[in-house]
A and B are shown apart, each in its own frame.
Chain A
Amino acid sequence: MNGKPTICGFCSLGCAMYIETSPERGVTGVCPSANHPVSSGRLCVRGWNNPFTLLSKDRLQSPLIRNGDSLEPASWKDAIDFTVTAIKRIISDSGPNRLGIIGSGKLTNEECYSLSKLARAIIGTPHVDGACRFYDASIIHPLIETSGVPASHTDIESVLKAGSILIVGSNATEQAPILGSRLEDAARNGCVIVAADPRVTGVTRQAKLHLRPKPGTDLIWLRGLIKVIIEQKLYSNTAPTLPGFEEMRNSIEDAWADIAKDACRVDRDSIMEAAKLLAGNSPTIVMFGLGALQQPQSTQVVKALANVANLLGGSIMPLRSQANAQGACDMGLISGFLPGYRATDHPATMKKWETAWEANLSAEPGMSAIGMLEACASGQLKGLMVFGENLVRTAPNTDATRAILDKVGFLAVTDLYLTETAKLADVVFPACSFLEKDGAFTNIESRVQRVRKVSEPIGESRSDLQIISELASGLGIDISSDPLVVMEEIASNVPQYAGVSYKALDESWGRQWLRGASEARLAPVPASTPPENPEYPFTLIASRALFPQGSATICEKSSILRREQPESFVELNERDAERLGLKPGRQVTVSSRSGSITRALALNSGVPEGCAHAPGHFGDSPNTLASYGGDPVSGTPAYKACAVKIEAVK
Chain B
Amino acid sequence: MTIGDKLVLKKTDTGRFFESLGQEMRLIAPKAAFGGDVMFDVAQSPDEIVWDYGHDVCPPKQFVFPQTEEMLRYEANGKANIKNLLDAPKQAIIGIRSCDVSGIKTLDGFFGSDIIDPYFKARAENTVLFSLVCNTPPKEECFCICCDAGPFLDGGFDVQLTDLGDRFLYEIGSEKGLAATEPRSDALRAAEAADVQERKRIELQADSQFQTKTYFAKAIIPISSDLVPDEVWEEMASTCLRCGACTNLCPVCTCFTVEDRAQSGESFLRCRSWDSCQYAGFTREASGFNPRHTAGSRLKRRFYHKASYQYIARDGHHGCVGCGRCVTACLTHLGAPDVVKRIRREMHKYLEPEAV
Contacts and interface: CB of A to CB of B under 8 A. Distances in A.
A95 B257 CA distance: 56
Place the interface of chain B in its size category. Answer: 35 or more
Contact of B68 (A28, A36, A43, A188): A28
Interface in A492-531: 508-509
B271 A34 contact: no
Contacts of A564: 242, 279-281
B239 interface: yes
A564 B280 CA distance: 6
B332 A45 contact: no
Contact of B67 (A29, A43, A508, A559): A29
A202 B238 CA distance: 9
A36 B329 CA distance: 13
B58 A181 contact: no
A30 B262 CA distance: 22
B353 interface: no
A178 B243 CA distance: 10
Nearest to A452: B34
B214 interface: no
A2 B67 CA distance: 12
Most buried by A among B33, B36, B238, B271: B33
A456 interface: no
B67 A184 contact: no
Contacts of A177: 241, 243, 331
Interface residues of A, number: 46
A181 B275 CA distance: 22
Nearest to B263: A57
Nearest to B60: A1
Contact of A2 (B41, B241, B244, B331): B41
B263 A42 contact: no
A16 B279 CA distance: 23
Contacts of B62: 1, 29
A25 B273 contact: no
Nearest to B41: A2
Contacts of B332: 181, 184
A180 B331 contact: yes
A48 B244 contact: yes
B34 A42 contact: no
A28 B40 CA distance: 15
B142 to A, nearest CB: 14
Nearest to A173: B241
B328 interface: yes
B243 A184 contact: no
A566 B281 contact: yes
A173 B243 CA distance: 11
A34 B57 contact: yes
Contact of B35 (A205, A508, A563): A508
A173 B37 CA distance: 26
Interface of B: 33-42, 56-58, 62, 66-68, 70, 238-239, 241-245, 248, 257, 259, 261-263, 269, 271, 273, 275, 279-281, 284, 328-333
Interface of A: 1-3, 5, 16, 18, 20, 25, 27-36, 41-45, 47-49, 52, 57, 173-174, 177-178, 180-181, 184, 188, 202, 205, 508-509, 546, 559-560, 563-564, 566
Given A1-B40, A57-B261, 4 more contacts: A34-B56, A44-B241, A52-B273, A188-B333
The 5 A-B residue pairs whose C-beta atoms are closest, nearest first, are: A563-B281, A181-B331, A5-B34, A31-B58, A29-B67
